[in-house]
Structure 1
């Protein structure tokens, strides 16, 4: 089709979504390159995580600006649209039940009707096996100006730019898309930016329910979420139990001496879960949590751009290995003993940053909001929560399950391991 048509539709969609009160900031032009470059990663993240997008909350004008930016980049790379009506967009609605963090403005009026959101989807058709598909995805939404899900003071109206969570992953799919648009793959590559992740994996669930390609021909899904804060070369990759060959492929692709830790678990608090539940082999790339997680301080200046380049080079090599003849994966179900439950963002929050890479008993925290329940109770970074409200907990998933049954204003106790000492503290949730 005419390459300009998706862009025109994108701008029409933008003006419908944003209205006259907010105009689009000037976006940098995407640069077509045969390589993945830290400078290009920086360009994408600085735009997506700028204050002008006001945190990209689902259903907001800032989200629409981000969606158009991604679609325009796909178009400039020559990537074909795979959304509805020959566009890059796959729209879905967000109900008031999902809307914990309403957009700026007249929230009473906006809560009276569902809001429109959209995934952004493009495809590079394979040169030799076009009916075999790999999906590379990342969510591009974040928390807007705070509210539910924020680990900052909820009463303050602060922009949460989400540079690592997840402008980093979005920049990752853009860089991989431009790379493979120049270095043509044998199999087809689908690139998708999801919205609605922060309020319940809504975009990825809608995508798998309305897959634009046959599900039985999808060989793998690779999810990029919070890949911008590589420290000490440590990279976490989840989902290796969803196919027998993942561990081998990951090891073979590690030519940058990354310190890779893997987890068999195919589910968790990100969009790969939606694909695992459809029996598609998945990987989830993650560079770890930090003190800026779900806070206004998650800004572009905190990103390790050279480190993210290393992460993306590893993803690129894994994709190229899967692109070879005879490299198909077979889905395997992770045993119940190794499979964890997805995180549900319901109930109260303690105002802590979990250490997602912790593999001991309990949940270790790496940051504490001084004004939140945990901060007021005296919890500290490095504490391992081993009991909550009198209930022992094995891991972060049991922690979230217990939180889901509590109400704001309740009182109880939290027991932590602090070095060699076990402490039980009173807490008001």
Structure 2
């Protein structure tokens, strides 16, 4: 009897150790996906195929069921857009077409509804149109934060959810083609491998690797289900939360929101290495990633007993504003003060030529006061090429005025 009890204890201990090891692999997963040998994981390249194979093997280790169209893989072929206003054409043949792969694993709890947890794994390769790198020397864009970080937390959640919160099934998707226009998520929604009418909600993680000292965490889509805001607040013991109601944004959650699925998108903010070769694995805040993973797990746990969540459409303010010109700045989307803080300046654009600087807070553009991102966009929308106007910024508690030539 004593030997039997010892064997039972040993089996439980080994099982716990394996689960713990899976949960503690965040840094290992990022280090591989963001290594030079994957050459930036651009969709359709050998580097992306190596990344896909790594994620497939991790899904096998986690004992997720295959839910692609070929094992874990869901291939999609497309022809890149030459006109940014055209729709991408899938399943095309002939020269110039590219094939990417979504990797899809399923945790089947025999439940009525399913939660989708996703993150894109592609990046920019050696740069291309999406790069903000201006050096003439060719360089790999490893994309540690964008978005090896999201994939690593997705895998972490897959380990955490084994035999937990079993009132839902969980579908884990590593998307390709995000950097080319949310292609992988768009394709999945149009060609789902499960019944999307049974999807309760979708969680997306994109650039969650650089939690700053003030612990600011942005969550988008908080208005897409009535229960989200309360749930986010009730489990927040660590973050300065910035909640954005809209379900539309520049990442894969948008594809699901447009299919009437509630979404939450997690994001730790932009930085100087965004879409540049400097986005490397040693610069990530791994402790912060662990805290974010625990936070998302607690949210999922809270929602475990709520059945299929109610969906609510949100006002997509940015889509209602059209621009003929731009300042040539990267807004700080994490800023929650008055005005629009500049997080980056593009070369040879109006802002740089007028002497604006990173960290400046735009408080007036032309005759319009700027109090937030929306008022900034409205103010910008009235100008056309050739116009001149004044801009007033707050720089280290001083007001600075400059002339802008569009």
TM-score tier after normalising by the smaller chain length:
0.7 to 0.9
Residue of structure 2 in register with 1:149 after alignment: 130
Gaps of 5+ in 1: 1-30, 101-110
The alignment covers a number of residue pairs equal to: 376
Residue of structure 1 in register with 2:238 after alignment: 257
Residue of structure 2 in register with 1:13 after alignment: none
| CA drift at 1:332 | 1.0
| CA drift at 1:411 | 9.5
The yes-or-no answer on 1:196 pairing with 2:138 is no
Q: Is the CA contact (8 Å cut-off) linking 1:289 and 1:355 kept in structure 2? A: yes
Q: Is the CA contact (8 Å cut-off) linking 1:290 and 1:353 kept in structure 2? A: no
Residue of structure 2 in register with 1:88 after alignment: 72
Superposition RMSD in Å: 3.5
Residue of structure 2 in register with 1:33 after alignment: 19
Q: Which entry has the higher C-alpha Rg, 1 or 2?
A: 2
Residue of structure 2 in register with 1:395 after alignment: 373
Gaps of 5+ in 2: 1-16, 85-93
In structure 1, distance between residues paired with 2:354 and 2:40? 29
The yes-or-no answer on 1:121 pairing with 2:114 is no
Q: Is the CA contact (8 Å cut-off) linking 1:82 and 1:122 kept in structure 2? A: yes
Q: Please, which of 145, 148, 159 is the counterpart of residue 167 of structure 1?
A: 148
TM-score normalised by the chain length of structure 1: 0.77
TM-score normalised by the chain length of structure 2: 0.81
- Partner SS for 2:171: strand
| Change in 2 beyond 3 A, CA 1:289/1:202 | same
Residue of structure 1 in register with 2:344 after alignment: 367
Residue of structure 1 in register with 2:401 after alignment: 423
Q: Is the CA contact (8 Å cut-off) linking 1:33 and 1:182 kept in structure 2? A: no
Write out per-residue CA displacement over residues 283-331 of structure 1, whole angstroms, 9 at most, x where no aligned residue: 011111222111111111110000010000011111122222x443100
In structure 2, distance between residues paired with 1:126 and 1:213? 14
| Change in 2 beyond 3 A, CA 1:219/1:427 | same
The yes-or-no answer on 1:52 pairing with 2:37 is yes
In structure 1, distance between residues paired with 2:399 and 2:58? 53
The yes-or-no answer on 1:242 pairing with 2:224 is yes
In structure 2, distance between residues paired with 1:371 and 1:136? 40
| Change in 2 beyond 3 A, CA 1:76/1:383 | same
Q: Is the CA contact (8 Å cut-off) linking 2:117 and 2:170 kept in structure 1? A: yes
In structure 2, distance between residues paired with 1:356 and 1:148? 22
In structure 1, distance between residues paired with 2:366 and 2:44? 35
Q: Is the CA contact (8 Å cut-off) linking 1:240 and 1:247 kept in structure 2? A: yes
| Change in 2 beyond 3 A, CA 1:82/1:292 | same
In structure 2, distance between residues paired with 1:156 and 1:386? 38
| CA drift at 1:398 | 7.3
- Partner SS for 2:296: helix
In structure 2, distance between residues paired with 1:209 and 1:259? 36
| CA drift at 1:352 | 4.4
The more displaced of 279-288 and 371-380 is: 371-380
